[in-house]
Structure 1
Amino acid sequence: MILLNKFPLRLRLTILTTVVLTTICVLLTTSSVFTAQKMYAVPAEDYNFNTTLSNLSKEPPATDRINNNFTYASVAYMFIMIVLGTAASYFVAGKTLKPVADLTKRIETIDENKLFQRLEGFDTNDEVARLAASFNHMILKLEKSFNHQKQFAANAAHELKTPLAGIIANIEVLQLDKNPSVQEYKEVLDDTLTNAQRLSTLVYDLLKMNNAINADICESFDAKDMFEDIILALSENSKVKNVLIKNNISDIMLFGEKVLLQRAFFNLVQNAVKYNKLNEEVVVTAAQNDDFVTVNIKDNGIGIPEEELESIFEPFYRIDTSRSRELGGSGLGLSIAKTIIEKHNGEILFESEVDVFTKVTVILPKN
């Protein structure tokens, strides 16, 4: 069977059909010959034993000759049928596989200039049509992925270009002044530092997006302790808006790569603080069942318009560009969080109402 895999599919089908046909012909011929010999055999009581010895030197009885002729003819016809059946199998296999050959030729014509060309003309309800439909579906996903990557590259280039342009512009302005003051030097340095820090954050976040999870370092850890660390790290941010972060989790264990999950939840809580209203609160709760742990992060902030919910996980996507830049961030926080959660076979969901609340639900498997 392994040797057959080296032959073309048409020849393989022909060989397998010939093997089946030969087996059936041999069985039918054998059974026919055996049945004929039984039906036309001369009973022993019909022989005259006194003349048996004298008949040995004579020709075989007519019944034996008929049986022999029937056997020879049956074997000859069997070989003829096998040969004709093999030829017919080869012809039928070629006709049957013609749509597959056409599909192969159509796919071979696709090159880099028409990479996303669809396969049309396969309207039958057979396996070939389903294969063509699956190929078209794959092409659609590839096209979407390519467009996403192009958009990501364009956005990344824009995000990197903006702080670099600011740094270059400040230096050029400083160079135009023949006798810049100390204050001017200080302003340029401060602005350069701000842009450099923005670049550093952006590069760090881009690296985090491509950070793969290592199954060897997955572990169980206490969710409450992790959120306490996150709250401590965000204490300065929350004080600016006087936002209270409540950690209402108890006796809940999470399983995964702790550093990555902490990064994901840090981004989610940071967003809840950043886009919250003054003097409000962020509430973190969790629940579990036999298979999953559900973590909820809810704020009473500015909310997200319903039509924007599907786009918030796209890299560099911002609902209000000017306000988002003012609040800081690279526009990658939610993309990173989603990537990490999905690498843990989890799911992240958003519910929101403008100027009322935003609720993030993260569902993670227990192991």
Structure 2
Amino acid sequence: MSLSPRFIAFILAFLISAITTAFLAFVDGANVSMLFVAAIAAFLSSFFLVLYAVDILVFREVNKMYRTIHKLKMRDFNMTPRKKLIQESNPMKTINDEIFVYVTKKQKEIDELKKLELFRREFLADVSHEFKTPIFAAQGFIHTLLDGAMEDDNVRERFLRKAANNLDSLDVLVKDLLVLSQMETGDIKMNMTRIDIRRMTINIFSRLENVASQRNVSLRVKPEDLDAVWVMADQDRMEQVMLNLIENAIKYGNENGKVIVHFSETKKHVEISVRDNGPGIPQEHLNRIFERFYRVDKSRSKERGGTGLGLAIVKHIINAHDTKIAVLSKPDKGTTFSFKLEKALIDQQPEKETPDPAKSAVNS
């Protein structure tokens, strides 16, 4: 039970008055009037003395705390006003609770800053490595030509093509970084239109037919009896999402496997899932696969191309559609990426388009 200073002073004053009166009652010549006056005097003096002592002991320290707190950024500290604090049943407990909340909040901010610092160092290391590889390769081919290999027509053409391929890879990387940066800062706006995402998926299957045939991967849409699946989305950006997810499923799934794009309609939304039957993604990697340049298996990822930014871009595009992307993976069972889009009504008209400064960016 919490006790206020006034209540404590009242109890102590009453006890002191009662004890004083009881002792005086045994004194010869003490009458009722004398006992009454002594009781009142003892009660009042004890009450104000105890109350003053408690206030001094409590609020002197409280004022010191306030002076310290005022040196901090007050907008970060939800401090109870002093007048209201005096009326609290237990002001020391109240201020202690507020300081505890403040310290906990600051500790969370410190932990978050440490995570961001670690992420920044990893990102700088990754982006430096990604830039270094194509630059050094192109530089090596060009310097070899300048050192005398240019006289050989076959060598010159082969080396120039290799240098050009590395510079093309560098260009793709820069464009992906630009798109990702613009999405994070909100510079890219989604042009929401009514699109048939099933037809889009079929078109992507046609574009990736050669890649799928090299690994003997079958591409399927379910349910097979659907004629069209209409959703509200940015057509170019959603094509970028589907292309990335389907291509990743082909590349990182099993050879002789299958990739299934499944559509599930509800009253207001359409859930799209891209599923493969590959080796799956280990649980410890699932929370990080949408980070920039993060690769579950760096050697395999390098062999099969990509900038390492594809899933990061996918996540930002999905978030810009006011939804989230989820991933479910089991070892040797496969991986499923899924997200929801708003279902387009038959009479729903597309919104007015706004210019997009990065429509020509190439997806990894």
The bucket for the TM-score relative to the shorter chain is 0.5 to 0.7
Q: Kindly indicate whether the alpha-carbon contact (under 8 Å) linking 2:190 and 2:321 is maintained by their aligned counterparts in 1.
A: no
The answer to whether 1:224 aligns with 2:198 is: yes
Quickly say closer, same or farther: Cα 1:291–1:138, change in 2 above 3 A.
farther
Measured after TM superposition, the shift of residue 267 of structure 1 is 0.8
Q: Which residue, 84, 100, 105 being the options, matches 2:71?
A: 105
> TM-score w.r.t. structure 2 length?
0.64
The answer to whether residue 214 in structure 2 is matched with residue 240 in structure 1 is: yes
Residues 73-222 of structure 1 mapped to structure 2, 5 A cutoff = 98-105=64-71, 125-177=96-148, 180-212=151-183, 217-222=191-196
- Tell me, which stretches of 5 or more residues in structure 1 are unaligned? 1-88, 109-121
Q: What corresponds to 1:254 in structure 2?
A: 231
Q: Distance in 1 between the 2:155 and 2:220 partners?
A: 44
C-alpha contact (below 8 Å) 1:346/1:365 kept by paired residues: no
Q: 2:312 — aligned with what?
A: 335
Distance 1:204 1:217 in 2: 20
Q: Is the 8 A contact 1:347 1:364 kept in 2?
A: no
Change (3 A) 1:101 1:270: farther
Does the CA contact (< 8 Å) of 2:150 and 2:156 recur in 1? no
Question: What is the Cα deviation at residue 124 of structure 1?
Answer: 6.0
- Tell me how far apart the structure 1 counterparts of residues 94 and 125 of structure 2 sit (CA, whole Å): 39
- CA, structure 1 residues 320+127, in 2 after alignment: closer, same or farther (shift >3 Å)? same
Distance 1:93 1:304, change over 3 A: same
Counterparts of 1:294 and 1:284, CA distance in 2: 10
The alignment covers a number of residue pairs equal to: 267
Distance 2:229 2:96 in 1: 51
Q: Using the TM superposition, give the Cα deviation of residue 311 of structure 1 relative to its aligned residue in structure 2, in angstroms.
A: 2.1
Distance 2:211 2:150 in 1: 39
Could you say if the C-alpha distance between residues 94 and 187 of structure 1 is closer, same or farther in structure 2, counting changes exceeding 3 Å? farther
Match of 2:38 in 1: none
Q: Call closer, same or farther: CA 1:94–1:181 in 2, change over 3 Å.
A: farther
Deviation at 1:165, TM superposition (A): 0.6
CA distance in 1, matches of 2:66, 2:219: 62
The structure whose RCO (Cα within 8 Å, separation 6+) is larger is 2
Deviations 1:124-167 (A, max 9, x none): 65334323322332332233234323322321121011100111
Question: What pairs up with 1:257-272 in 2 under 5 angstroms?
Answer: 257-272=234-249
The amino acid of 1:289's aligned partner reads T
Structure 1 contact 100–128 (Cα < 8 Å) conserved: no
CA distance 1:106–1:285, shift in 2 (3 Å): same
Offset from partner CA, 1:265-310 (integer Å, 9 cap, x none): 2111110011122332210002133454321111122322222222
- Kindly, what percent of the aligned residue pairs are identical? 30
**Residue 330 of structure 1: how far off its partner (Å):** 0.7
Larger Rg: 1
Q: Give the residue type in structure 1 aligned to 2:97.
A: D
* Superposition RMSD in Å: 3.3
SS in structure 2 opposite 1:210?
helix
Query: Is the deviation greater in 346-355 or in 199-208?
Result: 346-355
Match of 2:340 in 1: 363
